[in-house]
Amino acid sequence: MKPISRKLVVLALLLIACKSSTREGIGPVADESVKVTEAFPQLTFQSPVDLTHANDGSNRLFVLEQEGTIRVFDNNSSTATSQEFLNIKSKVSYGGEAGLLGLTFHPDYKNNGYFFLNYTRKTGGKLETAIVRYKVSASNKNQADAASETVLFTFDQPFDNHNGGAVKFGKDGYLYVSTGDGGSWGDPSNNGQNKSAFLGKILRVDVNSTEKGNYGIPKDNPFAGNKEGFREEIYAYGLRNPWRISFDDATNTLWAGDVGQNAREEIDIIVKGGNYGWRRKESVDCYNPKKDCGESGLIDPVLDMPQSKGEHSITGGFVYRGNNVPALRGKYIFGDYVSGRVFALETKDGKAVKNTILAEGVGQISAFGTDAANELYICNHGTGKILKLVRK
């Protein structure tokens, strides 16, 4: 064989390899420029599942403990103590994937003191998700008024697992809520595709309206005013367990990590009215039915991750818009609860172009969160430590 034709053979083999690797997802490749370190070495939390700030200029952080407490502390690496902001353990049904799962502050928290929670509880012996509003104490900014609970809405949870759990405000001022498919295995009731169910969805409501009691339906929700019995709260559907979601305000993009069944994990960009496939598809594969699952109209993930590479429970993160680690700016930083890896996903026009492993052995990554300066933090569910990415 002449050298030139040998080169062509190598090139052809490379092209075949690239083509098949597309089926196996993008990358990932390693990055050696950053490392994970403890953000608040003196603080330890009990099963942290969310971290956020109040956008009130106070430079405090709030950490959600799954059993039913919110703790508040000064955002300073030398902080030695945190205070209990709210304790609703007596209301919360806790264990496995259930508990106090999501916290977000009203965009006008500074003036109205409102914040919102997503938690599981038992009413009449039956598990349900409650989306509620609380208010800060009038006299102590580090203490919520425990008697101020106002229920926006609730919906049944047929099984303990797949409760979704996130609550986030968009730039439109509406509250977005992620719900899981209700649980068990394989979405037995097909909740993801059932537009009459709250389960397996991203919901969107107007917390400043009283049209439905303590909230309203944005007029441009996909099923607002429908006569077919569809839930008017639905913003997008066909999700399995979008445990963590986030907004990238710079591009007004809603990101979700949707936890897979037993073959594939996925990262989605959520658009209004979108159908993300579950249970017809698990990420890029037909799931139920196993073939001819009616793929037209279903939105595939931005990033597909086969579980064979080690990821088994994806934890959605944030597009990094902070200053401390310039190399990460504009990249979607996310992780996996089981593999303990942290990734940086680069996209162009809504398509994945590169996925990088930033760190390994980070532990049980339950959530990512940001402070008022858009710096990023990682919750380690197992050790209770809050971590951050820094330049090496």
Q: Which residues bind Ca ion (CB under 5 A)?
A: 157, 159, 162-163, 182-183, 276-277
Least distance (Å) from Ca ion to the CB of residue 382? Answer: 22
Contact 377, 368 (CB under 8 A): yes
Least distance (Å) from Ca ion to the CB of residue 220? Answer: 24
State both tokens at 3. 């050298």
Q: Which residues on neighbouring strands pair with residue 265, listed in sequence order?
A: 305
Element (H, E) at 102: strand 100-105
Q: Which residues on neighbouring strands pair with residue 35, listed in sequence order?
A: 390
Least distance (Å) from Ca ion to the CB of residue 298? Answer: 7
Least distance (Å) from Ca ion to the CB of residue 182? Answer: 5
Measure the CA–CA gap between 304 and 281, rounded to whole angstroms. Answer: 12
Least distance (Å) from Ca ion to the CB of residue 35? Answer: 32
* Closest listed residue to residue 76, CA positions, set 388, 342, 329: 388
Least distance (Å) from Ca ion to the CB of residue 259? Answer: 11
- 96-117 as b/e: b if 16+ CB within 10 A: ebbbbbbbbbbbebeeebbbbb
Instruction: Give the residue with the Cβ less far from Ca ion, 35 or 122.
Output: 122
Measure the CA–CA gap between 4 and 20, rounded to whole angstroms. Answer: 25
Instruction: Give the residue with the Cβ less far from Ca ion, 169 or 255.
Output: 255
Contact 258, 301 (CB under 8 A): yes
Cis bond upstream, residue 41 (ω within 30)? no
**Which amino acid, residue 241?**
N
Cis bond upstream, residue 279 (ω within 30)? yes
Instruction: Give the residue with the Cβ less far from Ca ion, 73 or 276.
Output: 276
Least distance (Å) from Ca ion to the CB of residue 19? Answer: 22
Distance, CA of 118 to chain centre: 13
Instruction: Give the residue with the Cβ less far from Ca ion, 180 or 335.
Output: 180
Measure the CA–CA gap between 339 and 349, rounded to whole angstroms. Answer: 28
Q: Which residue is nearest to Ca ion (CB)?
A: 183
Widest distance between CA atoms in the chain: 84
Instruction: Give the residue with the Cβ less far from Ca ion, 158 or 384.
Output: 158
Instruction: Give the residue with the Cβ less far from Ca ion, 188 or 322.
Output: 188
Least distance (Å) from Ca ion to the CB of residue 160? Answer: 6
Instruction: Give the residue with the Cβ less far from Ca ion, 73 or 159.
Output: 159
**Which amino acid, residue 367?**
A
Instruction: Give the residue with the Cβ less far from Ca ion, 23 or 219.
Output: 23
Measure the CA–CA gap between 206 and 49, rounded to whole angstroms. Answer: 25
Instruction: Give the residue with the Cβ less far from Ca ion, 133 or 162.
Output: 162
Least distance (Å) from Ca ion to the CB of residue 302? Answer: 10
Measure the CA–CA gap between 340 and 99, rounded to whole angstroms. Answer: 22
